[in-house]
Structure 1
Amino acid sequence: MQLQVTNETARLKAVILGIANSNGPVPSIEEAYDPKSAEFIKKGEYPKEEDMIQEMESVAAVFRKYNVDVFRPKIIENYNQIFTRDIGFVIEDKFMRANILPDREQEIEAIHYVINQMNPENVIVLPEQCHIEGGDIMPHGEYIFIGTYRGEDYSTYITARTNLAAVEAIQQLFPHKKVKSFNLRKSNTNAKANALHLDCCFQPVGKDKAIIHRNGFLEEAEYQWLVDFFGKENIFEIDAQEMYDMTSNIFSISEDVVVSDRHFTRLNTWLRSHGITVEEVSYREIAKQEGLLRCSTLPLIRA
């Protein structure tokens, strides 16, 4: 398998899509990895497995429509394997295995059959001290955008997933790229004030556009850098409720086609007004776990 990913919007050829089968029992509050999951556990509204399977199969159907090769994790009994973006990512021709929460180590085992098809020299595991997850990593041409948290209290946030050691390691691995990191707002308890990953508050879309939530960024200057980089006229600003709903977490099949939640009516109208085809699905149940379309996909080849 010849890996190739240099941005978020080139034509998708191959992807690993998560799987919701045998997702396991409803977690306890203590087992929740993020404030949104905890919220729905408390309310007794944690998503049902059959509903999540249906949502994910609707995305698989869209991929088939566009002749995308779709890999799925092997099923581990009673285990959450929905969010493949967390466990790895591709930059250029390198597959980077994420250093994820220890409780989720088994997830990478379920995609070993895919990794085994790659050139082993291009499969990279960062040192243990480098915390990193794919939702924080966005290749963008000559840039690599990375979400992080720079606070000295990093270790107190279960929602802080990518640290500065990982940012530095990525820069060393890709010295020809401009690595730009963004300090994200974190909360263990308030989902409306928590940017779990960079793709929870920002994502490039189309040829030159981006979706962004200002308050997801702790430093105004870094938010403004992105606005200036893309141009204010090319930015779709989302509010706190839209970030909570995961509106920035759509997924591009190409510059001209995206998969989006049908509930994002304001965003979908804007995308269509710029000539982008929107393939609508419902992902409301999966969204209860503070992840959406980008989170549940791991692109392998974009050409």
Structure 2
Amino acid sequence: MIYVESEFARLQTVVLAESEFGFPEVPRPEDLRFLTPEAREEVQQFRGRDHAEALPDVHHAWELEREALKRTLEKYGVKVLHPRKLLPEEKQAAGVDGYSNFFARDPFFTVGNSVVEGSMRFLHRRNEVLPIRAIMEQEVMPEDCHYVAVPRPAIAAPGDATLGPGPFLEGGDVLVLGKKVLVGNSGLASNALGARWLQKYLGHWGYDVEMTRLHPDILHLDCALGLIREGLMVICEDAFLDGVPSILRNWTSIPVDLSETGLLITNGLPLSSSVYITDPAFARIGEQVAAHGVTVEYIDFRISRSFGGSFRCSTQPLLRRD
């Protein structure tokens, strides 16, 4: 079965990211503002190199983080799927833009029984869905579900800092709450045209898609908001330019500061309404979550977080249903 009911319905089948990254030869500074200063410096230092070759010890530790997450997922009965590795020709075709196969959340997403291939804004992520296509063929195509793709983004004019009109739509910006779907828009990833396309597609089944504008230093909506269970969330209210979405205004909030969002403090992963994964660096958040009767699992994810993503970013569900 393919179905995602909400962000905190019981996770049953998930795609867990690989750990592959090629640094762009000419990084665009405007696209790095969501990273920590240390991460921005690393991108400049190792431009044009493969991460595994440039930093082999760090790369191995990064892979171990993903293995630790896999063990925890399987401990709770979750079926874990992996994208394949990038092919040599895919890395070569990326050219000076670099390449990635490191966050399964963004190249596609699932809403209800629809699997949607996204449209990525950053140039090094434009082909990130390709290593996931085998999963689509094996797991999605045989099921009674819908499988579509966002239109290919328009070609931008030379020097256009926005990278063109899109449409851009990335899974990290898409949060599902029953028939309500929130789509973030900070200018770094998804945009208004992407949100309009999603409403056009999902509206047929009674979904309401709401775009929410974000602070320009926020990469994705899930970097500012995490839905833990019905009525409970971890949130940076200062990240929402038009205020907290109305559907969430009566929820209990665990607040975080704007300065903490770049650390991925909101990017934990509910396995159900009663189990939540976060990093031990965020023990104060975990303690507040646990105070609401939720079991908290801790996994050190510091290297994954240095790339601008954490537990939610590293996973994309195909089946979340109570």
* Structure 1 and Structure 2 fold alike (TM over 0.5): yes
Which residue among 212, 223, 226 is the counterpart of 2:235? 212
Structure 2: distance between partners of 1:110 and 1:165: 26
Residue 61 of structure 1, CA deviation: 0.4
Structure 1 runs of 4+ with >4 Å offset: 24-29, 43-47
Residue 229 of structure 1, CA deviation: 3.8
Secondary structure of residue in 2 paired with 1:145: strand
Structure 2: distance between partners of 1:119 and 1:93: 12
Task: Give the TM-score taking structure 2 as reference length.
Answer: 0.80
Contact 1:29 1:41 in 2 (8 A): no
Secondary structure of residue in 1 paired with 2:289: helix
Alpha-carbon spacing, 1:26–1:49, altered in 2? closer, same or farther (3 Å):
farther
Secondary structure of residue in 1 paired with 2:69: helix
Contact 2:10 2:273 in 1 (8 A): yes
Matched, 1:170 2:198: yes
Please give the root-mean-square deviation of Cα atoms over the aligned residues, in Å.
2.3
Contact 1:260 1:279 in 2 (8 A): yes
Secondary structure of residue in 2 paired with 1:264: helix
Q: Which runs of 5+ in 2 are unaligned?
A: 92-98, 153-165
Instruction: Give the aligned length.
Output: 279
Q: Which residue of 1 aligns with 2:189?
A: 161
Q: Which residue of 2 aligns with 1:116?
A: 137
Residue 102 of structure 1, CA deviation: 3.9
Residue 244 of structure 1, CA deviation: 2.1
Q: Which residue of 1 aligns with 2:59?
A: 49
Letter in 2 for 1:209: L
- Of 103-112 and 244-253, more deviation after overlay is shown by 103-112
Identical-residue share of aligned pairs (%): 24
CA shift digits 1:77-96 (9 cap, x unpaired): 56531211110000011110
Structure 2: distance between partners of 1:3 and 1:38: 39
Secondary structure of residue in 1 paired with 2:27: helix
Give the alignment of 1:27-176 within 5 angstroms.
27=24, 30=27, 33-35=31-33, 36=35, 39-42=38-41, 48-76=58-86, 79-100=99-120, 101-117=122-138, 118-119=140-141, 122-128=146-152, 129-149=166-186, 154=187, 160-175=188-203, 176=206
Structure 2: distance between partners of 1:209 and 1:28: 42
Q: Which residue of 2 aligns with 1:4?
A: 3
Residue 3 of structure 1, CA deviation: 0.9
Residue 297 of structure 1, CA deviation: 0.5
Task: Give the TM-score taking structure 1 as reference length.
Answer: 0.85
Contact 2:181 2:210 in 1 (8 A): yes
